[in-house]
Amino acid sequence: MYKFDGNTIHLTRGDTLRATLIIKQNDSDYIPAAGDTIRFALKHSEMKHDKTAYVDTNPLVIKDIPTDTMVLQLDPKDTKCLKFGMYVYDIQITMEDGTVDTFISDKFYVEPEVF
């Protein structure tokens, strides 16, 4: 099971997440160009001075998001071995001209599972 609280994601460890992304540019939906790439990255985090900070230099999970569907999919194997708790994630687009825009950055909670 998963749920969103704004951009914060709560996912039961080992479950599938499928979420359709919308990129806004000047209050309009941005339609990715043929050369654009979109990537999701998940890292360990910790709280420092009331702010979330990245702990890892290398992401624990990286997913390319197809620009034709704009669907982020995390499979059970992506989170099955993660400890319960808070992580941080971001999603960025690299446009065909080389411009990079991190358009979402927030918390990601891996929630307990029974099985």
Mean pLDDT of the chain: 90
Write the single-letter amino acid at 46. E
Q: What is the pLDDT of residue 72?
A: 98
Q: What is the pLDDT of residue 66?
A: 97
Q: What is the pLDDT of residue 11?
A: 98
Task: Give residue 51's pLDDT band: very low, low, confident or very high (50, 70, 90).
Answer: low
Task: Give residue 52's pLDDT band: very low, low, confident or very high (50, 70, 90).
Answer: low
Does the pLDDT of residue 31 top 60, yes or no?
yes
Percent of the chain with pLDDT over 90: 80
Domain ranges of the chain: 2-111
Tokens describing residue 88: 């941080």
What are the φ and ψ backbone dihedral angles of 67, each rounded to 5 degrees?
Answer: -75, -20
- Would you give the DSSP letter of residue 13? T
Alpha helices in 12-87 (DSSP H): 76-79
Q: What DSSP letter does each residue of 73-101 carry, written as one string?
A: EE-HHHHTTSPSEEEEEEEEEE-TTS-EE
Does the pLDDT of residue 82 top 90, yes or no?
yes
Rg of the chain in Å (alpha carbons): 15
Q: What is the pLDDT of residue 83?
A: 94
CA 98 from centre of chain: 21
| Overall fold of domain 2-111 | Immunoglobulin-like (2.60.40)
Tokens describing residue 67: 């620009």
Task: Give residue 58's pLDDT band: very low, low, confident or very high (50, 70, 90).
Answer: confident
